[in-house]
Amino acid sequence: MAEYETILVEQRGGVTLVTLNRPQALNALNSQVLVDLIAAFAAFDADASQGCAVLTGSAKAFAAGADIKEMQSQGFAEMYASNFFAGWENFTRTRKPVIAAVAGYALGGGCELAMMCDFILAADTAKFGQPEIKLAVSPGMGGSQRLTRAVGKAKAMEMCLTGRMMDAAEAERSGLVSRIVPADELVEEAVKTATTIAAMAPLAVLANKEMVNAAFETGLAMGVQFERRLFHGLFGTEDQSEGMAAFVEKRAGTWTGK
């Protein structure tokens, strides 16, 4: 297993658990975190023994944002020329599912990173926010777009304009997180959920992720058409024959990933 500077990576059966590990900066996302996460998630995607990942932080902070100290001295020319933050697009290209397990602060880039994952499980201690306006800037890793799609314009606009944080209960009510779990059970519950996903037929997992994501990129008719075509495609797999035979024969299916 590769070693990284800013994250810890371990495999628990078919689940890759990635833990952000910059406690001195509340897991603020600097360029090294980006480099480490891209490498770790590329390795996860390429490893056929791994079916789902969990991305988590510490009890105090999932991540308190992009690293303000790293950005502080940057000007427009450097930011624009380097297309600062564009590298995060690579994280969203991870093909297998990634669950964000969020305890404590998920602020700015931390909230945006959680929203780049496929769904968020929140500890009852989780706090979400886009406080960049207080620094006289704005979200830059997709927050204004993903938060608005997740919770609607009213809450997203209020949060971006005031920097107000949302607690776990409000985040669940608003559709930002799938479920709330007690903080001390968060990682265990996320790994359990990921284990359930990792046990599914691998091609069906990829197809389900792709089609739900298509809902963000397309209109309804195109999205439904995309879903139907992927659904048809799954009928070309060995695992579909096995899955349906297993149901009829009242036994568990075993998957080949073909």
Residues that bind ligand CAA (CB under 6 A): 25-26, 28, 64-69, 105, 107-109, 112, 131-132, 135, 139-141, 143
Nearer to ligand CAA, 25 or 103 (CB): 25
Least gap, CB of 54 to ligand CAA (angstroms): 22
Q: Is position 66 annotated as part of the catalytic site?
A: yes
Task: Decide: 242 and 255 in contact? Cβ < 8 Å.
Answer: yes
Catalytic residue among 51, 108, 112, 201: 112
Angle, CA of 217, 147 and 159, to the nearest 5°:
155
DSSP 52: E
Nearer to ligand CAA, 52 or 71 (CB): 71
Nearer to ligand CAA, 33 or 201 (CB): 33
Catalytic residue among 109, 110, 140, 142: 109
Nearer to ligand CAA, 65 or 97 (CB): 65
Q: What is the CA radius of gyration of the chain?
A: 19
Nearer to ligand CAA, 82 or 225 (CB): 82
d(CA 154, CA 107): 18
d(CA 185, CA 167): 18
Least gap, CB of 79 to ligand CAA (angstroms): 11
Q: Which residue reads 């990921």 in tokens? A: 194
Least gap, CB of 228 to ligand CAA (angstroms): 36
Least gap, CB of 216 to ligand CAA (angstroms): 19
Q: Is position 78 annotated as part of the catalytic site?
A: no
Least gap, CB of 205 to ligand CAA (angstroms): 29
Q: Is position 14 annotated as part of the catalytic site?
A: no
Task: Decide: 103 and 183 in contact? Cβ < 8 Å.
Answer: yes
Quick one: tokens of 79? 């930011």
Catalytic residue among 53, 132, 140, 168: 132
Q: Is position 109 annotated as part of the catalytic site?
A: yes
Q: Which residue reads 């600097």 in tokens? A: 30
Alpha helix stretches (DSSP H) within the chain? 31-46, 68-71, 76-81, 88-92, 109-116, 143-151, 153-162, 168-173, 186-198, 202-217, 220-234, 238-248
Phi/psi at 50 (nearest 5 deg)? -110, 130
Active site residue ranges: 66, 109, 112, 132
